[in-house]
Amino acid sequence: MTETAPGSAVAARYRDPQLAALATTSAVIEHQLGHRSVRSFLSDPVTDDQLTAIIAAASSAPTSSNLQTWSVVAVRDPARKARLARLAGDQAFIEAAPLFLLWVADLSRTRGLAAAAGARVEATDYLESTLLGVIDATLAAQNAIVAASSLGLGTVCVGGARNHPEEIAAEIGLPPGAFVVFGLAVGVPDPAEEAGVKPRLPQSVVLHHETYSPPGADELAAYDERLGGYNATYGLGGGWSERVLTRLVGPASMAGRHRLRAQLERLGLAGR
């Protein structure tokens, strides 16, 4: 990750003249402000020591009631990565990344504990418990993303792992009661990749005080203009509003994920 001077990192993150610098900041915040998705990797491996450190950081994330309803599967085998890439939308960077982490909402461990103890855990049949697993896995993965970046590694989240959840579960041998929430490609960033820090929605849109306030049309239009400028720099088109409306137009835009409820039920999740 390129080091930036205090103030310039938040300016790049928002491209908003209303927030050109932070009055309060830290080395951690400045580091987080520089986050970007990496889709081009060098061939350098992610070492076992680096993986151990990343998972230690992931394990330090919050977890509801200390239930720890998550697991992660580390994939390095080229043939398996190729199969996973096909199932996750034919995204070539999955094959190119030396490490692909699959973050799992995992209720199987709890159910196994209950079976061994002759106990009941009927609460795992409810949607709330599936949400616990999804949230736990996501929080752990976010810690891992920051940790990987601090080690000089780049990452990109892969929601395409939900395109074919049953096939991916079979590929990595998941037991009933577990499914992959998303993948994370990890590796040393290729410095030749043309990408930067993508501007985010202004804080006036996402931060609400006491009660929720819908965003103004002018705020969204200004953000569309800023993001459009960023996209144009890298040969991309459109702004944020266009992207949102296209991505969420209906089942045809969901890459098969409109079937997710039924698939999760067959995998032993979601339920009531």
CA-wise closest residue to 168 among 86, 269, 257: 86
Residue 33, pLDDT > 70, answer: yes
- Residue 117 is classified by DSSP as H
> Of the candidates 191, 208, 236, which is a domain's last residue?
191
Q: What is the band of 111 on the pLDDT scale with cuts at 50, 70, 90?
A: very high
In a domain, 13, yes or no: yes
pLDDT of 238: 84
How far is Cα 245 from Cα 203, in angstroms, rounded to an integer? 21
- 164 and 77 assigned to the same domain: yes
Q: What is the band of 271 on the pLDDT scale with cuts at 50, 70, 90?
A: confident
pLDDT of 237: 86
- Residue 11 is classified by DSSP as H
> Of the candidates 159, 174, 191, which is a domain's last residue?
191
Q: What percent of the chain has pLDDT over 70?
A: 97
Mean pLDDT for the stretch of residues 102-125: 97
- 62 and 168 assigned to the same domain: yes
Structure tokens at 197: 């820090």
How far is Cα 145 from Cα 135, in angstroms, rounded to an integer? 15
Range of 88's domain?
Answer: 37-191
CA dihedral of residues 124, 128, 132, 133 (deg, nearest 10): 50
Residue 28, pLDDT > 60, answer: yes
Per-residue pLDDT of 62-101, as tens digits, reads 999 999 999 999 999 999 999 999 999 999 999 999 999 9
pLDDT of 4: 46
- 105 and 144 assigned to the same domain: yes
- 2 and 121 assigned to the same domain: no
pLDDT of 188: 98
How far is Cα 110 from Cα 80, in angstroms, rounded to an integer? 28
Mean pLDDT for the stretch of residues 201-213: 97
- DSSP H or E segment with residue 75: strand 70-75
CA-wise closest residue to 111 among 44, 162, 192, 176: 176
Q: Using N-to-C axis directions, what is the helix angle for 240-247 and 217-233, rounded to 10°?
A: 90
Radius of gyration of the chain (CA): 20
- 80 and 104 assigned to the same domain: yes
- 164 and 83 assigned to the same domain: yes
Which residue did the predictor score with more confidence, 6 or 31? Answer: 31
- DSSP H or E segment with residue 155: strand 154-158
Per-residue pLDDT of 1-14, as tens digits, reads 444 454 689 999 99
How far is Cα 125 from Cα 223, in angstroms, rounded to an integer? 42
Residue 262, pLDDT > 80, answer: yes
pLDDT of 272: 86
In a domain, 97, yes or no: yes
Per-residue pLDDT of 69-79, as tens digits, reads 999 999 999 99
- 109 and 152 assigned to the same domain: yes
Bridge pairing between strands 70-75 and 154-158: unpaired
pLDDT of 260: 95
In a domain, 109, yes or no: yes
pLDDT of 140: 98
Q: Domain count of the chain?
A: 3
